[in-house]
Every structure is written in structure tokens, then in C-alpha cells.
Amino acid sequence: MKNSTRRKFIKSAGLATLAAGTAACNASSPTGDSPKKILVAKFFDETNTFIPEKFTLEMAKERAIYGQDMLEVKDMVHGIPGTSLDGFMDVMEMFDVSLIGSISVKGDYRLITEETFDYVTGYILDTLDKHQVDGIYLSMHGAGVAEAHHDMEGDTLELVRNKVGPEIPIVFTLDLHSTLTEKMAKNANAVSIYRTYPHTDAYEVGYEVGAILMGALLGNIKPVIAVKHIPLLIGPPLNVVTADMPMKQVYDKAKEMQRTIPDVLTCCPAHGFMQQDVPTAGAGVMVTTNQNHELAQELADELADLMWSFREQYWIKLPSPEETIKMAMQSEKPVAISDSGDNIGGGGAGDGTHLLREILKQKATSAFVQIYDPKAAKQAYDAGLDATVNLQVGGWSDKLYGPPVEITGKVTRLSKETDAWHQSARVDIGGITVLLNTKRIGPNDQANARGMGIYPEDYQMTVCKGSFAFRPQYPESTFNYVMSATPGFVSADLKTFDWKNVQRPIYPLDDI
């Protein structure tokens, strides 16, 4: 990133308070000094504790990227190029530093087994045994849960802090749907959290903590963190988009604090992850300042009070599947429907049939539905192009998502062996298109659909197995949105779940 571009970024992102940390960006380490060594690791999961399956060590090893290879991965966040790691590394390129890649593991929304947690954290600690480092960056989600670690990120930070001692600066990044804890704040020096939902600023938060880390290593700042927990369960598909009121007011206030108050480095509200039954569940705020913990706590408390004051406005009534399809059929624009209970990005199975059933029942004439069903996809694939097939599709994973729906249609497109989505089959039932996949494919990227000749803007309605994150792919200029109250492991109907561990009282489970 060129210097002029970097200055423009800092200004546009409201990071003027990072001037102390970025003043030396144009200079290398002092003459004669050896490069600063910085360990980088990623342990990332948004754990839905109501899903019965677990994320095993075997699954982790299949996904793991080790050593310097993890620094070479270019990825996307909800269809937006650039991850937090990418932003962090762009800052590092301005300095005489040596990045030491450790391990990168991304979970699958399932509870993480104890041996998996031990393996990933053990690998990070082993890397620290092999390398003496000057600083550490951990890319995490903030809603990870392992069998004996309900605060997975806090426990990971604690292990790392105990290994390196109090003097080594540790910075980390989190998703906006993170559960913030005292343990995280106690064992790290600075944090940056996504400020946007849908998430479009992953790169920026990595850039932000990179600047703070280098400011600390160069002796310009001494960052500290304060945290405030909020007894509030919120999340998509509720009224929580950061560009919409009332959440916009919370984030505008956070940006104003960060931009105008001296010594404030980051102000980060977080929504928490409401499909998570853990003692620390809830929303929260983290503030990072330069050496001023009292100020950080004061601002965290103020932002938390503001977020809490809108608690009733976040909770809105969503239409049932039946009502949803009626609304979509009356729309003058194409409609992107949120199948909220089957949100793949929150741990949904991807095979929910409630909306497909209503589409067929109400005799809609134009609709596109994507279903994860390896068995039905293979049956259609084996039947071949132009075959007429009778299939039972979806609804196999759990009774919440089913039962299966019977369809009879024509196979009009089959994926190629080289396609990233493997065996996919397009089945057309008049104007209704059902895309059957052997992989869970969310709506945040349309490559699968368009690769199968499906263009959502050509349909009256498209069922999106997500909540809000798909919207950059379904722009408001083209689509209307309907959020549907469908059942599933990601349902906003919290009465669906058996709560055992969350600390009470908490809104809206309790009237506080």
C-alpha cells in the first residue's frame, strides 16, 4: 500500500488517533537493529453450541495451514477481498520485520473438541518455543467455544501470555459477532473488531492492529484494553445492521470517540453470538487506549449503556415462511429472502425446506432455491443432463429443517469435475430452479449459482441461506429483502433452544 493511499485510508477510517503509532511508518528499524520478529497465528470459529455435531481434530488437521504457508493465503470475507491478516501484513511491509507463521485453523460452527483446542494452541506454543519474538498477532473470531473452554479466545490469549510474559505486546482481531471477556482484555494489549455488518472491513481492522503493534514496538504507545459486558442477546436477522438505526447511532458514537478523544486507539462495540449457551454470552464493548485504562473503561461503559438502551428496538417480528412467500409474490422487484434459521454462516445445515415447500404450495412461478443435499445431488447427477427426475430433497439433517420435499423436474445443468463446488445439479420445475449441492454453499458468493447458469436477478424470488451478509451480492438497487422466521439452529426464536449455562438475567430471555 503506497504512503498516499495509506494516509487516505487512515483518514477515511477515522484512525487519526493512531498517528502516534504510525508516525514511523516511513522508516525502518534504527540502524544496526535486527528485524522485529512477530508471530502470526489464526484460530477462528463462530461456535453454535446448539448444533449436536462437533469439530474434531481430524477436521482441524484437514483444514490447517502451517508455518509460512499461512501467510500466503489470500481469502475473502463475505465476498469482500482481503482478510484481517491481509491488512496486518500490509502494515508489516512498511517495516523491517520478520513474520513467523505458526498455524491457521478455521472451524465449522460446531463445538470444538478438547483435543482440537489442545492441538491448535499447543502448536502456537511450540512455535513460541522455537522462536524468540518481539510481538504477537492472533486472528480470531471471538465466539469460539471448545468443550472445556467456553471463552476459547480468552483461554488462548492467556496461554500465549503465560508463555511470553508481560512485556511482549499481543494484539488480536475479532469478528463483530464476538463475545467479549475480561480474560481477553487482561491478556492482550490491543484489539480491533469489525465495525460493519454485513462485514466489509476485515482488512481495515487488521491494518489497524498492525499500526498499533508497530507503534508499541517502536516505543510510541503503550496500548491497554478495557471491556464492558452487556446482558443482551442479539444478532441477525434482527434489526442489527450497522448502517441502520438504532445500531448506526452506537457505531457513529464509537467512531466519534476514536476520532476525537486523545489517546483513544480503538472503540469497538460487539454484538455477541446469540446461538451460544455459555456463561459469558452477550454483547459488549472493548476500547483500546494509550496507557489510560481509566479512560478506556469510561468509554466502554458509555458505549455499552448506549447499546443497551436500544435493546427493545433490535427485536422485531419476522414473517413466517407462509407470509414470506406471499410478500415475495407481491413484490415489483426481485426479492432476496433470508432463510434465517438455516443461515449457513451461523451454522445452519443448508438443507432447510420450509421456504421451498411454501413456494411450491403457493404455486409461485419464478423462484431460485439452493439446497445442500449430497444424496439428491448425486441422484440428479447420475440421471444425467435433460433427464426428468423425481427426488426427495433437503430436510435430512434435523427435524427442525424438514421434512424433505418431493420435486419432479428436469436436470438442465451439471457441474464440471473441475468446479470448486464438485457435484452440483440444477433441476428446473417450470419457473422454479432448485440447485442441489454436495457442499454447503452460502449466498455470500454467487460463483456457484452463476457457474450453473443461474442469475438471481432474473427470478422473482431467491432463497438465501443467510441473514444479512449476502446483501453485497444482492444489492438494494436490484433486490428487495424479506427476512423470514424459519426454524433451525440459527433461529432468532430463542425459545427454540434449551438454555442451561447462560448467566441470568439476560435480555430478551428475561424482562430487564
The grid coordinates of residue 369 equal 432455491
The confidence score (pLDDT) of residue 77 equals 67
| Alpha-carbon torsion (128, 134, 208, 240), positive or negative | positive
Q: How does 108-136 read in b/e, with b if 16+ C-beta sit within 10 Å?
A: bbbbbbeebbebbbebbbebbeeeebbbb
CB atoms within 10 A of CB 186: 13
Q: Decide the pairing of beta strands 335-339 and 480-484.
A: parallel
pLDDT along the chain (512 residues), means of 10: 38 41 44 82 97 96 96 73 91 95 97 98 98 98 98 98 98 98 98 95 96 96 98 95 97 97 97 97 98 98 98 96 98 96 93 98 97 96 96 95 96 84 90 95 90 96 92 93 95 93 97 94
Q: What is the pLDDT of residue 445?
A: 85
The predicted pLDDT at position 242 comes to: 96
Q: Note the pLDDT of residue 25.
A: 45
Which string of b and e fits 456-490 if b means at least 16 CB within 10 Å? beebbbbbbbbbbbbbebbeeeebbbbbbbbbbbb
Per the CB < 8 A criterion, the answer to whether 83 and 90 are in contact is: no
Q: Which of 172, 113, 109, 165 is nearest to 138 (CA)?
A: 172
The pLDDT, as a whole number, for residue 1 is 39
What pLDDT score does 28 carry?
Answer: 43
Look at residues 354, 369, 366 and name the one whose alpha carbon lies nearest to residue 328: 366
Residue 31 confidence (pLDDT): 41
| CA–CA dist 301, 223 (Å, integer) | 18
Residue with cell 484494553: 225
Collapsing DSSP to helix, strand or coil, 419 comes out as coil
What per-residue confidence (pLDDT) applies to 14?
40
State the DSSP string of 84-117: HHHHHHHHHTTSSEEEEEEEEEE--SSEEPHHHH
User: For residue 438, which amino acid is it?
Assistant: T
Using the 8-state DSSP alphabet, how is residue 33 labeled? P
Beta bridge partners of 411: 427
Q: Which residue has the cell 424482562?
A: 511
**58 vs 46, 103, 113, 170, 265, CA distance in Å?**
19, 15, 10, 29, 39
